[in-house]
Structure 1
């Protein structure tokens, strides 16, 4: 895992900003890159948020909904 470096290099602020991800998600076509971004976001969110707030608060979920929806589109 590259800790999201490849995804961040390709999509810049979309790697952490839900609004930016929504704008660029249609251009995400590489499964490995998108999967790496999802995994990295999960690891970072789970690590940095543990103990401070629930990971499943609404602030985190929209980013994952967008990314996983795109992943589903690409594999179906």
Structure 2
């Protein structure tokens, strides 16, 4: 059985954008990861309340990772 190497990228993602996806992609390639979890912060402690709700930010992340095999929101 081959070990899975999975990365975790967290953030506010208000909204998620190409820079976030590019960062995750670079990490997958540089670290030879088999997958990536992209997790939006519900209530970020270091900044004001996001404009989009947690539900909508999760939905945006789910759409952004849909085309990347092994990535999950």
User: Shared fold by TM > 0.5?
Assistant: no
From the two aligned structures, give the one with the greater helix fraction. 1
TM score, norm. by length of structure 2: 0.36
TM-score (normalizing by structure 1): 0.35
Choose 1 or 2 for highest CA Rg. 2
